[in-house]
Amino acid sequence: MSIKSLQEYKLIFWDFDGVIKDSVDVKTDAYLSLFPNASKDVLKRIEIHHLEYGGISRFEKIPLYLEWVGLQPTDQVIGQYLGQFANLVVQKVISSPWVPGVEQFLKQKPVYQKFVIVTGTPQEEIQEILIPLQINQIFEHVFGAPTQKSEAIKWTLQNYNIKNEETILIGDSKTDWLAANQTGIQFLLRETKISDFSIHYSGNKIKDFIGLL
C-alpha cells in the first residue's frame, strides 16, 4: 500500500502497541513476569495468546491468565495484578522504540484527514503515554479500554458522518482485523515476526512507514 492510497482516506484508525510504538515485547514481558511461579507450558500459552490477540485489553487477559495459573480471579486479585502490570509497562512503553517512520508520518498528517487511536491499553494510561511522546494533539479522539474497538469505530463514523469506504484501521493483530471486519472498514496490517496471524495474513500489509513518507 502506498502513501497515495493512504492519503485517499478521510479517517485513519490507529492501534498503538506494535503500530506506533514497538512495545508489544514490553507487554509480553510484563505478563510473563506477573507469574514467576507458573510452569513453562503455561507461560508459553500466555505468550502465544497475548501475541495472537494483541488488541484485547488486560481487563480480559489478566482474569483469563489467573485461571490458567490456578488463581481465583476475584475482583481484589484482578485489581492487584492490574496494578502490578501498569507499574511495569507505562515508562517502558514511553521509552520503547517508534515503529520506523511512524513519528514523521503522524506529524505530516494532512489537514483534511482525521486520526483516531483505538487501543486495548486503558484509557487513562494511553492518554498518559501520549503526552510525553508529543503526539496527543494529532488525534481527534483516543479510545482505550474498556471501550471495545468496534464500538469506538462505529461511534466515530456516526459522529463525523464519514463513510466506511473512506476509512481504514492500521493494526498488528487478529483483534484489529476483526474490528475492521465487524464495522465494514478497510484494514492495513503492520507486519511483525512474532504473530502467527501476521505471518499468514494475505491482505494489505506493511513492515514500517519509511516507504510511505
The verdict on 123 and 167 lying in the same domain is yes
Q: Check residue 2 and give its pLDDT.
A: 56
- Written as nine digits, the cell of 34 is 506477573
Q: Check residue 213 and give its pLDDT.
A: 63
Residue position matching grid coordinates 487511536: 117
Report whether 189 contacts 203 (CB < 8 A): yes
Distance of alpha carbon 202 from alpha carbon 164, whole angstroms? 21
Q: What is the pLDDT of residues 120-137, one digit of tens each?
A: 999 999 999 999 999 999
Q: Check residue 198 and give its pLDDT.
A: 83
The verdict on 41 and 118 lying in the same domain is no
Low-confidence ranges of the chain (pLDDT < 70): 1-4, 213
Q: Check residue 54 and give its pLDDT.
A: 80
The verdict on 47 and 58 lying in the same domain is yes
Residue 77 belongs to what domain range? 24-95
Distances (CA, A) of 10 to 64, 110, 156, 158, 163: 37, 10, 12, 14, 9
Q: Check residue 24 and give its pLDDT.
A: 87
Paired residues of 21 in beta bridges: 17, 98
* Count of structural domains within the chain: 2
Q: Which residues contact 188 (CB under 8 A, 6 or more apart)?
A: 1, 6, 168, 169, 170, 171, 204, 205, 206
CATH code for position 151 = 3.40.50.1000
Q: Of 95, 116, 150, which residue constitutes the final position of a domain? A: 95
- CB count in 10 Å sphere of residue 188: 24
Residue position matching grid coordinates 482525521: 114
In this structure, which amino acid lies at residue 102?
Answer: V
Stated pTM of the model: 0.89
The verdict on 13 and 28 lying in the same domain is no
Sign of the torsion formed by the C-alpha atoms of 90, 198, 172 and 100? positive
The verdict on 18 and 28 lying in the same domain is no
